[in-house]
């Protein structure tokens, strides 16, 4: 089948690479290159970096306008597969060919830009991925299929790989059986929404250890979880695990030092932390960081 693929991050790359083995990819549509790092050097989307090397034409429009739509229409695709493209597609584009969106949630839960993180944060018993026939409204099209896995406390990296693998199989199934699938309408009353992750979402206080651990699993790639020190800098937490979630402590109290780890108390529960990184400095083993700050058991991590 002749496909157009539209997607930007690594999650989409994994799915599209599987499709390219069984179908003809006419073109990849992804977001424009964006400035990255302190020098502002342009960085291409993951899909462009990975799929451009195998000869797939790359299209990076800043806007989906009528000339671009006409260009895609002239390619005469049989189907358009969309995975985390990052831009609302206009009605005229959706009418070119059946547009199938592979979305990382069990719709209608978590429509929007950050479903992976929100599934983790909400402690869903199952994580899933849905295929839907796109319409003009955000992630509200008719369901064509879904797959799911159990929540085993995967972090965002592992969950992304697991769901991308499921998503590739789901996309191939929907493409092969599209004509015989009976679409199911979503129930809008059951819908929930999520927005794009901001750096500030990583800010935590040592209140509920279980909640902090979920935030770590969701944000361990970016923006990471961090506290704000009383001295004015931020302190990122790495290699975090949940010790227990019921006992009461002073918020941020250093309960144990077990090099390289430390155990920190919360008002409800406690956490093991393997590494810390002060703003503008290198990441250090947690116990090493404490020595440098002359902090000991009973002190407050700050």
As a whole number of angstroms, the distance between CA 53 and CA 31 comes to 17
**Which 3 state secondary structure label does DSSP give 133?**
strand
Clarify whether residues 228 and 190 are in a common domain: no
Clarify whether residues 83 and 31 are in a common domain: yes
As a whole number of angstroms, the distance between CA 173 and CA 142 comes to 16
Clarify whether residues 9 and 25 are in a common domain: yes
Clarify whether residues 151 and 224 are in a common domain: no
* Alpha-helix residue ranges (DSSP H) falling in 136-263: 156-177, 209-219
- Give the residue ranges of the chain where pLDDT is below 50: none
Domain boundary among the residues 162, 194, 226 is at 194
pLDDT, residue 41, reads 86
pTM of the model: 0.94
Range(s) of the domain holding residue 92: 2-194
Question: Do residues 264 and 252 make contact, with C-beta atoms less than 8 angstroms apart?
Answer: yes
Clarify whether residues 116 and 149 are in a common domain: yes
**Which 3 state secondary structure label does DSSP give 203?**
strand
Q: Is 108 assigned a ligand-binding role in the annotation?
A: yes
Question: Do residues 104 and 115 make contact, with C-beta atoms less than 8 angstroms apart?
Answer: yes
Q: Is 105 assigned a ligand-binding role in the annotation?
A: yes
Clarify whether residues 212 and 189 are in a common domain: no
Clarify whether residues 214 and 188 are in a common domain: no
Domain boundary among the residues 163, 178, 194 is at 194
pLDDT, residue 230, reads 87
Clarify whether residues 91 and 217 are in a common domain: no
Clarify whether residues 60 and 160 are in a common domain: yes
As a whole number of angstroms, the distance between CA 25 and CA 18 comes to 11
Question: Do residues 112 and 58 make contact, with C-beta atoms less than 8 angstroms apart?
Answer: no
Domain boundary among the residues 144, 173, 194 is at 194
CATH of the domain at 183: 3.40.50.170
Q: What digits encode the pLDDT tens for the residues 43-102?
A: 999 999 998 878 899 999 999 999 999 999 999 999 999 999 998 999 999 999 999 999
CATH of the domain at 289: 3.10.25.10
- State whether the Cα torsion 82-168-12-51 is positive or negative: negative
Helix 209-219 and helix 156-177: axis angle, to 10°?
Answer: 60
Count of structural domains, the chain? 2
Clarify whether residues 210 and 70 are in a common domain: no
Clarify whether residues 216 and 241 are in a common domain: yes
Clarify whether residues 6 and 110 are in a common domain: yes
Structural tokens at position 104: 């990382």
Q: Is 260 assigned a ligand-binding role in the annotation?
A: no
**In the predicted model, what is the mean pLDDT of the chain?**
96
As a whole number of angstroms, the distance between CA 121 and CA 226 comes to 16
pLDDT, residue 57, reads 95
Helix H or strand E segment including 115: helix 115-121
Q: Is 94 assigned a ligand-binding role in the annotation?
A: no
Q: What digits encode the pLDDT tens for the residues 98-118?
A: 999 999 999 999 999 999 999
């Amino acid at each position: 089948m002749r496909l157009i693929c539209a997607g930007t991050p690594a999650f989409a790359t994994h799915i599209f690479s599987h499709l390219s083995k069984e179908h003809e990819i006419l073109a990849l549509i992804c977001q424009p290159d964006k400035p990255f790092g302190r020098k502002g050097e342009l960085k291409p989307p993951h899909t462009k970096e990975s799929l451009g090397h195998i000869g797939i034409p790359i299209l990076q429009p800043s806007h989906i306008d009528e000339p671009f739509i006409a260009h895609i229409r002239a390619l005469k695709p049989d189907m358009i597969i969309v995975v985390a493209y990052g831009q609302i597609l206009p009605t005229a584009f959706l009418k070119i060919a059946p547009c199938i969106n592979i979305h990382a949630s069990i719709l209608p839960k978590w429509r929007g830009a950050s479903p992976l993180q929100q599934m983790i944060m909400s402690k869903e018993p199952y994580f899933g991925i849905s295929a839907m026939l796109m319409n003009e409204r955000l992630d509200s099209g008719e369901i064509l299929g879904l797959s799911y896995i159990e929540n085993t406390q995967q972090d965002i990296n592992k969950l992304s790989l697991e769901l991308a693998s499921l998503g590739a199989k789901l996309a191939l199934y929907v493409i092969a059986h599209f004509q015989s699938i009976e679409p199911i309408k979503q129930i809008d009353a059951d819908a929930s929404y999520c927005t794009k992750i901001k750096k500030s979402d990583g800010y935590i206080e040592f209140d509920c250890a279980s909640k902090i651990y979920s935030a770590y699993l969701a944000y361990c790639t970016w923006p990471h979880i961090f506290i704000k020190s009383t001295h004015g800098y931020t302190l990122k937490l790495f290699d975090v695990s949940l010790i227990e979630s019921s006992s009461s402590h002073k918020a941020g109290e250093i309960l144990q030092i077990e090099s390289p780890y430390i155990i920190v108390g919360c008002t409800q529960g406690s956490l093991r932390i393997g590494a810390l990184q002060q703003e503008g400095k290198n990441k250090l083993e947690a116990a090493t960081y404490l020595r440098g700050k002359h902090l000991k058991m009973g002190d407050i991590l700050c």
